[in-house]
Structure 1
Amino acid sequence: MDVAEARAAPAVAALPIRRRRGAWAAFARHLLRDPYALIGISIYAIFVVVGLTAPWLAPYDPMEILFTADGGLAASLPPSADHWLGTTNLGRDIVSQLVMGTQPSLIVGLSAAVAVASIGTVVGLLAGYFGGAVDQVLMRVTDIVLGLPFLPFVIVVTALLGPELQNIVFAVAVLLWPNAARVIRSQVLTLSQRQFVEAARVTGAGEWRILFVHVAPSVLPFSALYGAFAVGWAILTQASIAFLGFGDSSAISWGTMLQDAYASQALDRGQYFWFLPAGFCIVLVVLAGFLVSRGYEDLLFPKLRDDT
């Protein structure tokens, strides 16, 4: 390389950074223009606000046993001005349980999304960039994890480690990262051959700096895509575990509400106001993850949008 090329190398290496900034701005604009993604983001935002303000929004303690004015147990009351969704068979306010149940559901969903995106991104980066034995080992581990049955594995983990939320997040993260890793690996295989990577090497940048400073930002949209998928899967899994009776019985969540309603035969007694709101919230959050991920796909794979 001559002197002119050496002087131009830093400028060439800086070009992808500016392009990535513009790409992220275009990415945000696209999501805001996409009606499906906008609806999904709005649903997430509403639930996050409810979760953060739940202690102030809940009219009663969700575990408090309530009584009527004449001293009787306020059990299985229909919706009223005092109890908008009625009460459970133990006299607990359903609205309070629904609002407070938002917190553990969102904690599981968002924590699992961060874990899945982080593990999948790191594994995909290492496998795609270094190749060779590193790629072989990581991809074989990925294949093994993909072969594990999802719900039985989560049940075994929670049965062995306990029903705490962090154990559910751990189990979900262990099982959901391989798909993200495989997609990111394929992207890194292409990115590692680009000119901006060669320019960074010319300037003396180390392999780890190239990997995490120059290559990693280009695959973060894919990480966000699989993180959005993981939110819905994690919340649905936590609800399923709680409904099956493997959840933490001392913590109120949408899953425990469904389990309590089922065990109390609320459906047979026509107490739809007990289990329908919790089920509807779970459906909304899972739907929001699908809508946001659909907006990601339209941006990441525009040819799919053009062909439809």
Structure 2
Amino acid sequence: MVDAPETAVVVAPRRARRQAIPPVLRRMAAMPLRDPFAFAGLLIYALFVVVALGADQLAPIDPLEILFTKAGKVAANLGSSGEYPLGTTNLGRDIYAQLVHGTRSALAVGLSAAIIVATVGTVVGLVAGYFGGTTDAVLMRIADMALSLPFLPFVIVLTGFLGADTSIIVMAVALLLWPNSARVIRSQVLSLRERAYVEAARVTGASHTRILFIHIAPNILPLSFVYAAIAIGWAIITEASVNFLGFGDPTSVSWGMMLQDAFTSQALSRGQYAWFVPPGICIILVVVAGFFISRGYEEVFMPRLRGR
């Protein structure tokens, strides 16, 4: 008889904490365990993160170091071997080391752009959808202007004027991708602001800031997460494209730089498939992972898809 009240005291706070979490966030957290697409996408991203964090241990050779054979010659265009798993480039650099260390550059660009896109898109969508009127019209016209710009040419021109730096590529991607998430989040907020719990918050005297970020924002955070995942793929593709076209930073190691070096040195004609196929596969995997996550989380926003 003594243990029952203590158990009730322990269980009640836990139940209260679970009830305090919005249902949409609970479904978002559980989705990877229920949907194979979302699980596969998150698993691919997790794999690349592990590789990026352990790049120095997985590939201790400097990716830009020019290697030499025992005879003192440049170890150029060597095939796959135990010492060089993917062979070497025409300048005698380890392809495997470039592939592994290129993961860091790709994730740095992808994650930075994703955070900026998700943050700016979420805030703009919240403000535009909640306040409406002139605020909504001005923000959406700015979004329309950004969407009207050609994506890759804009990034190339910006890097040409401001310099071939990774931060410039991130800024360019963020400037053009935030309107997509902002417009979708705005449409969601237009519906949420009319819900009963938002009206109840207004009646109790809650401020606009509290209503936006406490009552409405948790319900659209999964949508921000989806667009952030998609932005990672777009940012990495853009960085690879800019580097492949020769507008990137020549001192950085990236998958796009590997493809550009392989193309200019005519690696395909020599049958050096291990030079350009692995970075291409990595880029494809990152893009596919973003699609898998967005596909898996569709039912969080469209419950009618559940059970199909």
| Partner residue, 1:287 | 288
Q: SS of 1:122's equivalent?
A: helix
| Partner residue, 1:131 | 132
CA distance in 2, matches of 1:92, 1:32: 41
Cα root mean square deviation, aligned: 1.6
Unpaired segments ≥5 residues, structure 2: 1-15
CA distance in 2, matches of 1:23, 1:118: 19
CA deviation vs aligned residue, 1:29-72 (integer Å, no higher than 9, x gap):
12222111111111100100111111221131101111111212
Is residue 217 from structure 1 mapped to residue 218 from structure 2 by the alignment? Answer: yes
Q: How far apart are residue 208 of structure 1 and its match?
A: 1.4
Are 1:20 and 1:218, in contact at CA under 8 Å, matched by a contact in 2? no
Are 2:24 and 2:219, in contact at CA under 8 Å, matched by a contact in 1? no
Q: How far apart are residue 126 of structure 1 and its match?
A: 0.7
CA distance in 2, matches of 1:18, 1:154: 45
| Partner residue, 2:7 | none
Q: How far apart are residue 160 of structure 1 and its match?
A: 1.1
Query: What one-letter code is carried by the residue in structure 2 that aligns with 1:240?
Result: S
Q: Map 1:12-91; keep pairs closer than 5 Å.
A: 18=19, 20-91=21-92
Name the TM-score, length of structure 1 as normaliser. 0.91
| Partner residue, 2:202 | 201
CA distance in 2, matches of 1:299, 1:232: 21
| Partner residue, 1:7 | none
CA deviation vs aligned residue, 1:155-213 (integer Å, no higher than 9, x gap):
11111111111111110011111111111111111111111112212222111111112
Q: Map 1:1-308; keep pairs closer than 5 Å.
A: 18=19, 20-304=21-305
CA distance in 1, matches of 2:184, 2:191: 11
Are 2:22 and 2:219, in contact at CA under 8 Å, matched by a contact in 1? no
CA distance in 2, matches of 1:302, 1:76: 54
Are 1:94 and 1:274, in contact at CA under 8 Å, matched by a contact in 2? yes
Are 2:299 and 2:306, in contact at CA under 8 Å, matched by a contact in 1? yes
CA deviation vs aligned residue, 1:77-122 (integer Å, no higher than 9, x gap):
0000100000001111111000100001001111111111111111
Runs of 4 or more, structure 1, over 4 Å off, are none
Query: What one-letter code is carried by the residue in structure 1 that aligns with 2:229?
Result: A
Count of residue pairs brought into register by the alignment: 293
Q: SS of 1:269's equivalent?
A: coil
Are 1:188 and 1:215, in contact at CA under 8 Å, matched by a contact in 2? yes
Q: How far apart are residue 19 of structure 1 and its match?
A: 5.8
Are 2:109 and 2:239, in contact at CA under 8 Å, matched by a contact in 1? yes
Unpaired segments ≥5 residues, structure 1: 1-14
Are 2:62 and 2:97, in contact at CA under 8 Å, matched by a contact in 1? yes
Identity between Structure 1 and Structure 2 (%): 61
Q: SS of 1:101's equivalent?
A: helix
